[in-house]
């Protein structure tokens, strides 16, 4: 194995490092990228010194830039049907990210932890009945479903189900894409998922907790604040939102 010595310490060349089972997910992910990146690394000798460059998908040797790397490495896929449910006009970046992870079932929930720590007896911090999962938290849990149902009662379309995938598909099929209610649908589901996940982590790691009513107030307050930053034209739909959410544009 090729190695160099720096200040008396042997350092393995990045390309030769073998990931360990105990390594963090982030480090393993970086090591996995080596296969994708190696064909894009080029070099030339200038005045006796080696300079490295980026090779584009078209074979051009260019100066390295994150924009070019993203352009060459990104995977182009078809837009999913629920794209507008997450990335809509006025979305909150943090909340959209958490909702996106939840839809893809990539949140670090207890059912995933138990796959590599099977001896752990993990329980949902809200109901204590079973290990939490995306399906359980959103919204099979008797605690979180009450929060969702309260928020759903403040929407025009109240026929949405009580489980996340069905909610996302229902909102994706909502016919009025430029209606204020469409934006509100997105805010409500994003805020609900985000604050439930936040509360779950607060209880697990900070030993802090809020009641169902307290969480509902926090979520409603956030959504009302978002509404007041949004420009609208007065209409029957806008008046209905003002009455239900107790705001005035």
% of residues, the chain, pLDDT over 90: 55
| Average pLDDT estimate for 142-154 | 97
Residue linked to tokens 């007041």: 228
Q: What end-to-end distance do the CA atoms of the chain give, in Å?
A: 67
Residue 9 pLDDT grade (very low, low, confident, very high; cuts 50, 70, 90):
very low
Q: In the prediction, which pLDDT does 15 show?
A: 64
Task: Categorise residue 47: left if φ over 0, alpha if ψ from -120 to 50, beta otherwise.
Answer: left
Of 45-59, 109-123, 155-169, 184-198, the one with minimum mean pLDDT is 45-59
Q: Where are the alpha helices (DSSP H) in 45-154?
A: 66-73, 83-86, 93-103, 110-116, 134-135, 144-152
Give helix 236-245 / helix 180-201 axis angle, nearest 10°. 30
- Are 88 and 174 in contact by the 8 Å Cβ rule? The answer is no
| Strand residues in 13-147 grouped as ranges (E) | 41-46, 49-55, 61-62
Residue 145 pLDDT grade (very low, low, confident, very high; cuts 50, 70, 90):
very high
pLDDT at 13 over 80: no
Q: In the prediction, which pLDDT does 14 show?
A: 54
Q: How far apart (Å, rounded) are the C-alpha atoms in residues 178 and 171? A: 13
Question: pLDDT per residue over 90-123, tens digit each?
Answer: 999 999 999 999 999 999 999 999 988 887 889 9
What are the φ and ψ backbone dihedral angles of 31, each rounded to 5 degrees? Answer: -65, -35
Q: In the prediction, which pLDDT does 200 show?
A: 98
Residue in 230, 231, 225 with CA at minimum distance from that of residue 246: 225
pLDDT at 160 over 60: yes
- The 8 Å CB, 24+ separation contacts for 111-117 are 111/136
Residue 4 pLDDT grade (very low, low, confident, very high; cuts 50, 70, 90):
very low
């Amino acid at each position: 194995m090729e190695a160099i010595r720096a200040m008396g310490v042997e350092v393995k060349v990045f390309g030769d490092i073998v990931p360990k089972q105990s390594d963090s997910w982030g480090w393993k992910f970086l090591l996995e990228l080596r296969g994708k990146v190696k064909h894009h690394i080029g070099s030339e000798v200038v005045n006796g010194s080696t300079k490295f460059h980026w090779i584009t998908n078209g074979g051009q040797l260019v100066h390295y830039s994150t924009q070019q790397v993203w352009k060459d490495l990104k995977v182009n896929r078809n837009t999913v049907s629920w794209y507008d449910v997450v990335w809509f006009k006025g979305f909150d970046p943090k909340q959209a990210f958490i909702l996106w992870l939840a839809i893809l079932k990539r949140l670090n929930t207890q059912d995933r932890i138990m796959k590599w720590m099977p001896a752990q007896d993990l329980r949902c911090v809200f109901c204590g009945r079973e290990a939490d999962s995306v399906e359980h938290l959103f919204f099979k849990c008797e605690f979180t479903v009450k929060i969702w149902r309260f928020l759903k009662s403040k929407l025009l379309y109240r026929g949405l189900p009580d489980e996340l995938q069905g909610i996302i598909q229902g909102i994706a099929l909502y016919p009025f894409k430029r209606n204020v209610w469409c934006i509100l649908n997105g805010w409500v589901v994003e805020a609900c998922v985000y604050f439930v996940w936040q509360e779950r982590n607060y209880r697990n790691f900070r030993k802090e907790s809020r009641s169902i009513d307290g969480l509902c107030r926090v979520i409603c307050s956030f959504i009302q604040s978002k509404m007041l930053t949004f420009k609208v034209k007065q209409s029957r739909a806008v008046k209905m939102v003002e009455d239900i959410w107790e705001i005035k544009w």
